[in-house]
């Protein structure tokens, strides 16, 4: 066990949270914007070129084998398999062990590389990342393979004959109109939907705030939704049946004014 792991194991959670806040190593959720435009005005924004350059550099390290995986441009040397997410993907595979994944907001394939070692029994796998144009351009130029492809829109993903699943990991909360994305998921023809790392509260309405990113990742702040779990599940239930939900590694958090929420994942299948 490393010294960092020992420190984490023996430090009380409340003190560890305080240390992370003081050192800028914890996400912060601040403010009560009245709408998305107000949240944008309250945000410092981010340097898109800096972020894409950092993610490209980190992805190269993973592809070369010098790191195990990356998230948000941060490299990790120890494997960290998202088992609940993997369960959703494997559940979606058809009887011939084939699977098409539509990875909405999938960066340069970070979740694909994180999961791929445990998807080796699949006979056929096609992984489509749907991303912003800068990520798509970088992915197409350098990181595309026979399995991994990059497109700008969900409806650009070809419909195949096998099983398909939409994956939305840590993305819905950063959209001006999450309902528009949910409509695209429903129209995709996919039989399954996996939502991961999404903040929800027990409040009856959604809460809009500004998320401040830890300084060790990059200097940025931007609008972020904290969804009402009840409203999110009701919206999903129009097209999908909830199979199960699960806690995420980010666990629980609070806004600066005390709203408690947690990060949850959902495994769903299309209603007949």
Residue 91's CATH number: 3.40.50.150
Nearest to 191 by CA among 105, 264, 98: 98
User: pTM of the predicted model, to two decimals?
Assistant: 0.88
CA distance 234 to 222: 26
Residue pair 230/204 in contact (Cβ under 8 Å)? The answer is: yes
What is residue 25's predicted lDDT score, i.e. its pLDDT? 54
Residue pair 119/125 in contact (Cβ under 8 Å)? The answer is: yes
What is residue 113's predicted lDDT score, i.e. its pLDDT? 96
Question: What confidence tens digit (pLDDT) does each residue in 172-224 have?
Answer: 999 999 999 999 999 999 999 999 999 999 999 999 999 998 877 777 899 99
Q: Is the dihedral of CA 207, 209, 214, 219 positive or negative?
A: positive
Question: For residue 254, is it within any domain?
Answer: yes
Three-class DSSP category at 37: helix
Question: For residue 265, is it within any domain?
Answer: yes
Question: What confidence tens digit (pLDDT) does each residue in 211-238 have?
Answer: 998 877 777 899 999 999 999 999 999 9
Residue 61: what are its φ and ψ, rounded to 5°? -65, -40
Q: Residue 196: which domain range?
A: 27-270
Residue pair 257/207 in contact (Cβ under 8 Å)? The answer is: no
110 CB neighbour count, 10 Å cutoff:
22
Helix 178-187 with 229-236: angle, nearest 10 deg? 30
What is residue 34's predicted lDDT score, i.e. its pLDDT? 97
**Measuring CA to CA, how many Å separate 115 from each of 111, 125, 148?**
6, 12, 13
Question: For residue 143, is it within any domain?
Answer: yes
What is residue 157's predicted lDDT score, i.e. its pLDDT? 94
pLDDT by position in tens, the chain (length 272): 444 433 334 434 443 343 334 334 588 999 999 999 999 999 987 777 888 999 999 999 999 999 998 988 889 998 899 999 999 999 999 888 999 999 999 999 999 999 999 999 999 999 999 999 999 999 999 999 999 999 999 999 998 766 799 999 999 999 999 999 999 999 999 999 999 999 999 999 999 999 998 877 777 899 999 999 999 999 999 999 999 999 999 999 999 999 999 999 999 999 98
Question: For residue 217, is it within any domain?
Answer: yes
Residue 70, C-beta contacts closer than 8 angstroms, at least 6 positions apart: 55, 58, 59, 61, 62, 76, 110
Question: For residue 2, is it within any domain?
Answer: no
Question: For residue 137, is it within any domain?
Answer: yes
- Number of domains forming the structure of the chain: 1
Question: For residue 54, is it within any domain?
Answer: yes
Question: For residue 111, is it within any domain?
Answer: yes
């Amino acid at each position: 066990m490393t010294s960092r792991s020992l420190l984490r194991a023996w430090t009380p959670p409340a003190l560890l949270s305080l240390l992370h806040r003081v050192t800028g190593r914890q996400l912060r959720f601040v403010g009560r914007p009245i709408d998305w435009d107000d949240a944008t005005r309250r945000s410092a924004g981010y340097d898109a070129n800096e972020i894409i350059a950092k993610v490209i550099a980190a992805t190269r390290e993973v592809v070369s084998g010098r790191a195990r995986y990356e998230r948000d441009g941060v490299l990790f040397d120890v494997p960290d398999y998202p088992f609940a997410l993997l369960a959703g993907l494997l559940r979606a595979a058809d009887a011939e062990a084939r699977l098409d994944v539509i990875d909405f907001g999938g960066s340069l394939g970070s979740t694909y590389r994180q999961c791929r070692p445990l998807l080796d029994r699949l006979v056929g796998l096609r992984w489509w990342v749907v991303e912003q144009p800068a990520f798509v351009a970088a992915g197409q130029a350098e990181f595309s393979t026979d399995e991994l492809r990059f497109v700008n829109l969900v409806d650009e993903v070809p419909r195949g004959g096998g099983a398909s699943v939409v994956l939305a990991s840590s993305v819905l909360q950063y959209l001006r109109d999450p309902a528009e994305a949910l409509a695209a998921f429903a129209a995709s023809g996919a039989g399954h939907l996996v939502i991961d790392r999404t903040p929800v509260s027990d409040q009856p309405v959604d809460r809009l705030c500004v998320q401040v990113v830890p300084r060790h990742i990059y200097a940025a702040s931007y609008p972020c939704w904290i969804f009402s779990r009840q409203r999110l599940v009701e919206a999903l239930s129009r097209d999908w049946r909830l199979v199960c939900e699960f806690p995420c590694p980010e666990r629980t958090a609070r806004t600066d004014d005390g709203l408690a929420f947690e990060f949850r994942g959902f495994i769903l299948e299309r209603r007949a």
